[in-house]
Amino acid sequence: MTALLLSCLILVALYALYIAARVARIGAAPETFLDAGGTLPGWSVIFLLPGLAMTALGVERHLGLVARFGLQASHVAVGIVLLAMAALLIWNRLWFAARIAGLGSPGAALGQFYGSITLRIAVLILALLFALPFAADVLSFAAALLETATQGLLPRAAGAWLLAIALTIPAIVGGWRGTVLTLAMLSLSLLALLPGVTVLTELTAAERGFPVMPIVVADGILWDRLPGVVRYIGGVGKHVPQEGIFTAVAVSSSALALLGLVLSPPALYLGQTLRAGRSFGVASVWLTGGLTAGLVVLCGPVLAGRLSGGVPALAAALHEAEPLAGTALFLLLLLPVLLAVSFLVTGGALIWTRELVVAYLFPGLAPEAQRFAARVAIAFTFFFMAFMASFLPLTSAVLASVALPLSVQLLPALLGLAFFRWIGRGAVLAGLTLGCLIVVFTEPLGLILFEGLFVDLPWGRWPLGIHSAAWGLVFNLLLVLLSATVTQRAPDRFQRDRLHDALLAATGLRVGGRGLLWALALLWGFFAYGPGAILGNTFFSDPIFAPGPAAALGVPSLWVWQILFWLLGVVLVWWLAYRLGFGRTSEDRIKPITLGEAPGLRVPDWLAAGVARVTGRGTLPAGPVEAPRRRAARR
Amino acid sequence: MASQDMTDRLDRHALVMAIWTPAVFAAAALLHRGVLVGGAWWIAAGFAALLLAFAGHVIANTVLGTGFTPGETALGLAVFAAALGALLLSALVGPDGIGADVYLALGLGFAALVVAVVAYLVIAHGPRRAFEKFDVIRDNNARRASRLPHRGGRR
């Protein structure tokens, strides 16, 4: 299996190099190296968004959790529909903002829209978090898996460096376009591998698996149901409930954390650099909300049920039946990692080049020099990432744990840019600061630091089983709402109104006044992965409206519930994409504007004059108060 | 400097590669399994993967308003001929009994590929124009007058 697996990985590397070389040979303008000229083909995001969704979920981690906790862990997969909705809504608006106001990168979009350097820096820090520790953490896992698969032939550190080099060279040669075109193929391969490996496993297995047989878990774990709505217990590290950790609120908060990847700076950048068309709709409705979520909901438990002996044991069994099937299992676990590393590191390095080097350090940089700077940035970022993956795996893991939840804290800022003009800079910054603090102190990073320096904190990771992303976002949104009420007439409102008016003119989309849609969306969320999901435990096996147990379905009730709400979720995303029109982008009605500094508040003349008279100093306004004096002087 | 046309062609090429790469991997695994265990259904699934990729390629062509490039046509024909030749050679000169269980399934699979290509040509171009694509004798008159409409409008 070693030779076959390594051959496949070498073929993937050669494929990436081939595409990158083809991109380089068309002789495009040097500056397009950084952003593909804003003309990435629509099909690239159609294929790539499912891969990003699977990366956010973490195929290996998800299968491992389902193998350990059963269907309660598998319920998180319904959150992929939520991810598709978020990508659809935010990417669409950001795409228009990029074309209307020339806000070509996420930092520029948020920084210029809110007139805040802090937000630019926040985006850069997030991009760095994803490019270094997050990517290093997943690469470290991939290298460890490769070591296992090759029976020690390729040690973990060597594997990490080899994989990093294989991804670095195509990125340096092909830039953003080359990277995205290659990753689209990897993502499509993932969509083929997940059902393929599942079907092959079932067809070649000697014994029947899930759903005929239950998923084998430890004693006491409720494998076929959610263990309640919420547990009033400390977080991970303090107390792990015997029935399992995936309560309804744990599921909903984990689903919320999935949004971190589509709200990450490289993912937003991907949305901004696409060509106009219908790709957002196809990507979010059919490929991500439909196919990917369905595949993970359907195939996840089936495949996880075979993983009780671990990945190497299943791969060996598959290899015995068909050598390429064993390799396919390892590829299923390795390809999302390669996708994440290549996407996040290349995207992060390009964003840093645009936001820092080109915008601030060397503003007049020639296009060729910009491309060179981007190549150097990519090389250095890959080097440091591989260094962290090889020699600092623990540090990477601790830092990586905050990347997704911190990214989710950008949501209010993005909502303000996309939909709610009443969210101002002060509100966003206050909420972001509080949200980030709460995330850090409900993740290992803050807990280790604080408990090492001072005293033990009473809560562990994810208190009450609620993901840190949700803890941060709740307080973040609360503070944003409170702050927004008192900053309605802030000086930056003028610029925000201009962009929102231009957005409305370009898209013709009004999100308000759709009461039925938003009510249905909330209702769906409540039942799909919110507290209402608890009803799914017995809804189809022991209905509450029937006198006794229903006829045996042959499958767990919770699994049917998940499938049902996945399908209903697809309808919702379809509504957003096609009925409301978020699935389409067009440059036809765009009227470009230039966002500038907001004019300061003008002090009312009567107030200024009054203050001047009382204090006897200061300048009187050159308005009606000044005019009689000038007339007197002329006389 | 690259024109938009060159970029579009590159994007289309990458799309075609993205469609065929996973399909070829899946087909290789399924056909290998089929040949190993002599299972006709495995072989059918392998050819189905190839047909699915072909359908994807045709859809990509339709959406992008393009057709099969000469390189793609040549590569497809060469691979098909090589695979068919290998099958025939193994039947003729291989040891007795080799692959006896799978010849029928493989033969039907190859036939299905041919039928799919012919069906595509007929649907996309119509029977007459599909035939004209192979009608080299009709095009052997190099005189310009042969292209005039009242002389048949050749080429």
Rounded CA gap, A119 and A42, in Å?
29
> Read out DSSP for A183-240?
HHHHHHHHHHHHHHHHHHHHHH-SS--TTTSPPP--TT--TTS---S---S--BTT--
Rounded CA gap, A493 and A502, in Å?
14
- Tell whether omega for the bond before B149 is within 30 degrees of 0, i.e. cis: no
Q: Which of A29, A39, A323 sits opposite B1 (nearest CB)?
A: A29
- Residue A549 is predicted with a pLDDT of 59
Which positions ≥6 away from A588 have C-beta within 8 Å? Answer: none
- Residue A122 is predicted with a pLDDT of 96
SS (H, E, C) A231-242: CCCCCECCCCCC
Assess contact for B23 and B53: CB atoms under 8 A.
yes
**Lowest-confidence pick of A97-101, A254-258, B124-128:** B124-128
- Residue A340 is predicted with a pLDDT of 97
**In the block, which residue shows the tokens 């000086």?**
A491
Average pLDDT over residues A46-73: 95
Closest listed residue to residue A439, CA positions, set A228, A235, A251, A246: A235
- Residue A537 is predicted with a pLDDT of 92
Average pLDDT, chain A: 90
pLDDT digits (tens, 9 = 90+) for A548-605: 555 567 789 999 999 999 999 999 999 999 988 999 999 999 999 988 754 555 666 7
Confidence of residue B141 (pLDDT cuts 50, 70, 90): low
Q: Which of B7, B18, B29 sits opposite A184 (nearest CB)?
A: B18
Q: Which of A19, A27, A193 sits opposite B14 (nearest CB)?
A: A19
Residue A238 has pLDDT above 50, yes or no: yes
Residue A547 has pLDDT above 90, yes or no: no
Beta-bridge mates of residue A274: A40
Rounded CA gap, B85 and A40, in Å?
41
Rounded CA gap, A582 and A289, in Å?
15
Confidence of residue B136 (pLDDT cuts 50, 70, 90): low
- Residue A597 is predicted with a pLDDT of 57
- Residue B138 is predicted with a pLDDT of 64
Average pLDDT over residues A275-290: 96
Residue A121 has pLDDT above 70, yes or no: yes
Residue in chain A lying closest to B33 (CA): A322
**Lowest-confidence pick of A184-193, A360-369, A387-396:** A360-369
Interface test with chain B among A35, A188, A273, A279, by most B beta carbons within 10 Å: A188
And the tokens for A234? 């400390």
Q: Which of A19, A27, A325 sits opposite B1 (nearest CB)?
A: A27
Say whether A299 sits in a helix, a strand or coil.
helix
Residue A65 has pLDDT above 90, yes or no: yes
**Lowest-confidence pick of A82-91, A116-125, B2-11:** B2-11
Confidence of residue A614 (pLDDT cuts 50, 70, 90): confident
Assess contact for A222 and A243: CB atoms under 8 A.
yes
How high is the ipTM of this complex? 0.88
Confidence of residue A492 (pLDDT cuts 50, 70, 90): confident
Interface test with chain A among B10, B24, B64, by most A beta carbons within 10 Å: B10
Closest listed residue to residue A475, CA positions, set A404, A403, A405, A399: A405
- CB–CB of A28 and B18 under 8 A? no
Interface of A with B in 325-364 (CB under 8 A): 325, 328
pLDDT digits (tens, 9 = 90+) for A348-363: 999 999 999 998 888 8
Rounded CA gap, B101 and B42, in Å?
12
- Residue A625 is predicted with a pLDDT of 46
- Residue B84 is predicted with a pLDDT of 93
Residues of A in contact with B11 (CB under 8 A): 41, 43-44, 181
Q: Which of A181, A184, A322 sits opposite B32 (nearest CB)?
A: A322
- Phi/psi of residue A594, each to 5°? -120, 120
Closest listed residue to residue A251, CA positions, set A613, A62, A531: A531
- Residue A623 is predicted with a pLDDT of 47
Residues of A in contact with B25 (CB under 8 A): 8, 189, 192, 324, 328
What value, to the nearest 5°, has the Cα angle with vertex B48 and ends B43 and B50? 100
- CB–CB of B25 and A328 under 8 A? yes
Rounded CA gap, A608 and B29, in Å?
82
Average pLDDT over residues A102-119: 92
- CB–CB of B17 and A184 under 8 A? no
- CB–CB of A28 and B29 under 8 A? no
| Nearest chain B Cα distance for residue A583, angstroms | 17
Closest listed residue to residue A176, CA positions, set A106, A110, A274: A274
Rounded CA gap, A348 and B56, in Å?
33
Confidence of residue A193 (pLDDT cuts 50, 70, 90): very high
pLDDT digits (tens, 9 = 90+) for A195-234: 999 999 999 888 888 988 999 998 889 999 999 999 887 7
And the tokens for B143? 């005189």
Closest listed residue to residue A459, CA positions, set A473, A440, A476: A440
pTM of the model: 0.90
- CB–CB of A193 and B10 under 8 A? no
- CB–CB of B1 and A39 under 8 A? no
pLDDT over 90 for what percent of chain A? 73
Task: Show contacts of A11-16: CB within 8 Å, 24+ apart.
Answer: A12/A166, A12/A186, A12/A335, A12/A338, A13/A166, A13/A167, A13/A170, A15/A182, A15/A185, A15/B17, A15/B21, A16/A166, A16/A167, A16/A170, A16/A174, A16/A178, A16/A182, A16/A342
Which positions ≥6 away from A545 have C-beta within 8 Å? Answer: none
pLDDT digits (tens, 9 = 90+) for A362-374: 888 999 999 999 9
Number of alpha carbons in the 13 Å side-chain half-sphere of residue A562: 31
Closest listed residue to residue B18, CA positions, set A287, A141, A131: A287
pLDDT over 70 for what percent of chain A? 94
> Read out DSSP for A339-374?
HHHHHHHHHHHHHHIIIIIIIII-TT--HHHHHHHH
Say if residue A258 is exposed, middle or buried (CB neighbours under 10 Å; 0-12, 13-18, 19+): buried
Residue in chain B lying closest to A322 (CA): B33
